[in-house]
Amino acid sequence: MTFDPTSHAMFAPRRFADFCVGEVFRAPSRTMTEGVFTAFQAASGDNHPIHYDRAYLKRLGHADLMAHGYQTLIQAAIGASPLAHEMGEALIGFIAQSSRFLAPVYCGDTLYPTFEITDLFAQATTGVMTLKVTIHNQDGVQVVEGEQQYLMRL
């Protein structure tokens, strides 16, 4: 038997027209460990003490290391959710992002990203999928709200 890597998929791919407004997708929860803070600092170059200096944060009244907004937002990468796998090769690219950071995220918090399709706009050969993005923490507090758009082949 010959192995075909193109048939190795976690989910059956769907076409743009197979998606529906109102569908909800979730990414696995993820805890913001010191390792995540270190990786984000290395990747971003952000070295402000509000993210990495516990004594500084304590003086400001914070419970622990406070995540950068983008560090929180990257938890809403659709590649970590079933959605990107269902989009499969129809996914062309990530074309827009807006977000609001509603509450602080601290080291040790666990985040729960959710994506809801709010619009599907078909064009001649491509379509734009718009998603409402929310991230909640382990206490049920919504820490991020936003919108993402993806360009897809029809």
Predicted pLDDT at 1: 82
Question: 90, 16 in Cβ contact below 8 A?
Answer: yes
> Does residue 37 lie within any of the structural domains?
yes
> Does residue 7 lie within any of the structural domains?
no
> Does residue 70 lie within any of the structural domains?
yes
DSSP E strand boundaries for 1-154: 24-26, 30-31, 91-101, 110-122, 126-137, 142-153
Predicted pLDDT at 125: 97
String of b and e for 17-53 (b: at least 16 CB within 10 Å)? eebeeebebebeebebeeebbeebbeeeeeeeeebbe
Q: What is the CATH number of the domain that holds 97?
A: 3.10.129.10
Predicted pLDDT at 6: 82
Predicted pLDDT at 36: 95
**Which token pair is 90?**
């129809």
Q: What is the rounded average pLDDT for all residues in the chain?
A: 95
Mean pLDDT across the stretch 78-93?
Answer: 94
Among 7-16, 42-51, 75-84, the range scoring the smallest mean pLDDT is 7-16
> Does residue 105 lie within any of the structural domains?
yes
> Does residue 96 lie within any of the structural domains?
yes
Contacts of 49 (CB under 8 A, 6+ apart): 56, 57
> Does residue 84 lie within any of the structural domains?
yes
Domain count along the chain: 1
Percent of the chain with pLDDT over 70: 100
> Does residue 10 lie within any of the structural domains?
no
> Does residue 95 lie within any of the structural domains?
yes
pLDDT per position as a tens digit, 32-58: 999 999 999 999 999 899 999 999 999
Predicted pLDDT at 117: 98
Band (pLDDT 50/70/90 cuts) for residue 138 is very high
Question: 65, 54 in Cβ contact below 8 A?
Answer: yes
User: Whole domain around residue 65: which residue ranges?
Assistant: 18-153
